[in-house]
Amino acid sequence: MHHRPRAAVTPNDLYYDPLECRDPALREAALMDALARQVARAQSDSPAQAERLAGVDAQAVRSRQALASLPVLRKSELLQAQQAGREAGGADPFAGFSACGWRGLPYPRPARRVFQSPGPLYEPQGESWRMGRALFAAGFREGDLIHNSFSYHLTPAGFMLDEGAAALGCSVFPGGVGNTELQLAALYELRAQGYGGTPSFLKILLEAADAKGREPPPLRRALFSGEAYPPSLRAWFRERGIAGLQCYATADLGLIAYETTACEGLVLDEHVIVEIVQPGTGDPLPDGEVGEVVVTTLDADYPLIRFGTGDLSAVLPGTCPTGRTNTRIKGWMGRADQTTKVRGMFVTPGQIAELGKRHSDVQRLRLSVEGALGEDRMVLQAEAAQPSPALAEALARSLRDVTKLRGEVRLLAPGSLPADGKVIEDLRKYD
């Protein structure tokens, strides 16, 4: 066979592999054991990670509490490190964060491919993106032809879906992006069973068919990613006989979570450890609260530990109606990096978190930026069980010390601010 066979499936072929329906306690134990090994691998094989994790006893990192004590790594840090290395004439394009490379680089294993994101930021292809699981949940099976309209150029999206298709034993038409007329012709002539790509491009293709007065091509299923997938668009595809599901994946991490036929949230992949944390602090939040998605992969070739995606989501209660027992998240709920510029100065979620550390007598904080263009006004909203003028004055002083900007303080009763993950809210009007 031309593909790498996947693990044995469960009875009736309901799941990609038996991992999806295992006891949650067994899953957690397996993930925590793998976490300790991953920290040790990162320390031994990735020079930059060894520096970040200096002094950490890898064998002691066997719980979520221990994981939460490690620093969050942000994409902006990777970019800054690579830029600094280039400016210094360094030969390592990954600035020490990879564990794979090629001749002349200080890594123990060869990289299959290297990709470029805006910046430029260079990212190695690790062991696997694990996309076969998402394709299986979306209804794809061995022998299907998938029309792949993710890009194969510079970025890994096209290869990510391609690899998942190979794991399932599916054939692929590598359509990539653009060339609407050629791709539409291929949909009719090759009669692919399904589509992989952004929902907006498939909509463009189907609307082009409508404009020609043709019946829709014989697609029956789709796996979408890279864009929002609102209920209205889901219904639009259903009217045309296409069952489209979505997955959450990134170039750095591969598959994070995937939708099932239940269409009730996204189930976490079996080979990642996901935390929902307070933006700006990295502190884990209780289930149900909106926060930043932080992911630790178990990929030995690109060991990203506590990687901050910058995306907001929340854990859903219970398990998937399909019988998959892993945790579910709500899906993409906005961006966690709410940094904004006020009167020429950047204000960050981390600065608001610093205010919380300075004032233990306040609970949730939110900074609103109001006013018209050129008339910025900052308002710090703070929940306090015992509000007082003295507390408001102290918060105003701290706000000025931390941000170098003056702002108004409004004290609110506990529970007044919504638990939606927003730390900085830009309410300015630019009309």
Binned at pLDDT 50, 70 and 90, residue 281 comes out as confident
Examine the pLDDT at 61 and tell me if it is beyond 70: yes
What SS3 state is found at 228?
coil
Q: What is the pLDDT of residue 183?
A: 95
Q: pLDDT digit string (tens) for 310-352?
A: 888 999 999 999 999 999 999 888 777 777 878 767 788 888 9
Examine the pLDDT at 10 and tell me if it is beyond 60: no
- Tell whether domain 340-426 is in CATH 3.30.300.30: yes
Q: pLDDT digit string (tens) for 232-247?
A: 999 999 999 999 999 9
Q: What is the pLDDT of residue 414?
A: 92
Q: What is the pLDDT of residue 81?
A: 95
What residues does 341 pair with on adjacent strands? 346
Examine the pLDDT at 70 and tell me if it is beyond 80: yes
Could you tell me the residue ranges of all domains in the chain?
Answer: 129-270, 340-426
The dihedral over CA atoms of 26, 27, 28, 34, expressed in degrees to the nearest 10, equals 110
Examine the pLDDT at 140 and tell me if it is beyond 70: yes
Binned at pLDDT 50, 70 and 90, residue 9 comes out as very low
Q: What is the pLDDT of residue 12?
A: 52
Tokens representing residue 268 in the block: 């976490």
The dihedral over CA atoms of 255, 303, 286, 412, expressed in degrees to the nearest 10, equals -100
Helical spans, DSSP H, in 359-408: 389-403
Angle at 236 between CA 234 and CA 238, to 5 degrees: 70
Tokens representing residue 375 in the block: 């008339």
Helical spans, DSSP H, in 278-384: 349-358
Instruction: Report the alpha-carbon distance of residue 382 to residue 362 in Å, rounded.
Output: 6
- Identify the CA nearest to 59 among candidates 90, 38, 87, 82: 38
What SS3 state is found at 328?
strand
Q: What's the mean pLDDT in 275-291?
A: 91
β-strands 362-370, 424-426: how paired?
parallel
Q: What's the mean pLDDT in 79-105?
A: 94
Q: What is the pLDDT of residue 295?
A: 98
Q: What is the pLDDT of residue 18?
A: 95
Binned at pLDDT 50, 70 and 90, residue 8 comes out as very low
Q: What's the mean pLDDT in 259-283?
A: 95
Q: What's the mean pLDDT in 135-161?
A: 95
Examine the pLDDT at 56 and tell me if it is beyond 80: yes
Residue 118 burial (C-beta neighbours within 10 Å; 0-12, 13-18, 19+): exposed
Q: pLDDT digit string (tens) for 107-136?
A: 989 999 999 987 789 999 988 899 999 999
Tokens representing residue 340 in the block: 């904004």
Q: What's the mean pLDDT in 196-220?
A: 93
Cβ(378)–Cβ(406) under 8 Å? yes
Q: What is the pLDDT of residue 118?
A: 79
Instruction: Report the alpha-carbon distance of residue 397 to residue 386 in Å, rounded.
Output: 18
Q: What is the pLDDT of residue 374?
A: 58
Task: Give the global pTM.
Answer: 0.82
* Domain 129-270, CATH class in plain words: alpha beta
Contacts of 31 (CB under 8 A, 6+ apart): 273, 298
- In Å, how far are 64, 172, 241, 260 from 195, measured between CA atoms? 37, 10, 13, 16
Contacts of 257 (CB under 8 A, 6+ apart): 247, 248, 266, 267, 268, 269, 274, 328, 329, 331
Examine the pLDDT at 372 and tell me if it is beyond 70: no
Cβ(250)–Cβ(239) under 8 Å? no
State the average pLDDT for the chain: 91
Residue 59 per-residue DSSP state: G
Query: What percent of the chain has pLDDT above 70?
Result: 96
